[in-house]
Structure 1
Amino acid sequence: MNMRIAALGLLVLSPLLSACAGDREAVVASVDVDTTAAALADTASMAPESTALPSAIVHKSPTCGCCELWVEHLRDAGFEVEVRDHAPDALNRIKLDLGVPYGKGSCHTAEVGGYFVEGHVPATDVQRLLVEAPSGKGLVLPGMPLGSPGMEVPDGTVQSYTVELVDEDGDTVPFASH
């Protein structure tokens, strides 16, 4: 079995399993534990040596609260995160050096798995990027859309937004719509 397809299947199922968490009895009742355990044991020998997510380095301003919330979002998704605080000029230089296109910036920039991730990109999109491994430089979510990870508001408002993939030339194409 292609491990990338299996990993993508897990990424797709994770939100569904989380949504079912409120009705645990129904979920548990529908799962044949012996069959599931046997299937997991069979696939253990096919697993790569390390299935851990790569660590991330997040470059941000030391005073940005929404950046800290996004870091927690990444950690909650299983990423190990190193935070590096920078003055604005240094942060802008990092964005330029990594290839974040002009006009596509946000308040923080991460480096993960050989890609950059600019802004409040959902962790599921970062995981998908790592599984699919497209050619390109990384993902951008320009601005700070309400309701994106780290930009949640008490009334639950969520602006629609599109995460974009940056190709090697700096052009962008839609990657995920939320």
Structure 2
Amino acid sequence: MDRRTMLRMAAAGAASVAFPALAAALPGVRVFKSPTCGCCTGWVDHLREQGFTVAVEDVGNAAARARLGISDKLGSCHTAEVAGYAIEGHVPAPDIKRLLASRPRARGLAVPGMPIGSPGMESGGRRDAYDVLLVRTDGSTSVFASYPAAPPRKTT
């Protein structure tokens, strides 16, 4: 066996050990959504692509949002629960990972409405400006992350 083959085998072995460990380090996400919402399914796919294990309950999200203490004014089309935090709307997976790493005293994160260009709401590269809000334990909010507007990609 030559050196190059040995290096490839070692790299493949290391990857097979490392990537399941990374996925196992992320807690499972429970999503409450409408069974007919395509953008919710897109967001679930985004989470899975980012290494989360996701369980979907097609029961709507109003009851889950209320149970988790998220105001209707912060509402969107789906609500999730991860490690005791509420995730309302199209919150990008990297922001959820940052929340889990920092473990602030908070109810969770919210992206109110359905901003174009957020995960699950992609539209030809166009992105409306939007904020990811940290929902504090008292229900007040602060900006956790901001995403600037981006024009649509030109097609030729």
| Aligned twin of 1:113 | 83
2:131 counterpart of 1:162: yes
| Aligned twin of 1:85 | 58
Q: Give structure 1 stretches of 5+ with no counterpart.
A: 1-32
Q: Give structure 2 stretches of 5+ with no counterpart.
A: 1-6, 148-156
Letter in 1 for 2:146: S
| Pair 51,84 (structure 1): closer, same or farther in 2 beyond 3 Å | closer
2:143 counterpart of 1:174: yes
| Aligned twin of 1:12 | none
Give the Cα–Cα distance (whole angstroms) in 2 for the partners of residues 126 and 101 of structure 1: 19
Structure number with the higher strand fraction is 2
Give the Cα–Cα distance (whole angstroms) in 2 for the partners of residues 152 and 79 of structure 1: 20
Listed as ranges, the matches of 1:25-174 within 5 Å are 52-87=25-60, 91-154=61-124, 156-174=125-143
Structure number with the higher helix fraction is 1
Letter in 2 for 1:123: A
Letter in 2 for 1:75: R
TM-score, length basis structure 1: 0.69
Report how many aligned residue pairs link the two structures.
Answer: 130
Identity of aligned residues (%): 54
Give the Cα–Cα distance (whole angstroms) in 1 for the partners of residues 80 and 62 of structure 2: 13
Q: Cα offset for 1:51? A: 5.6
Give the Cα–Cα distance (whole angstroms) in 2 for the partners of residues 152 and 163 of structure 1: 16
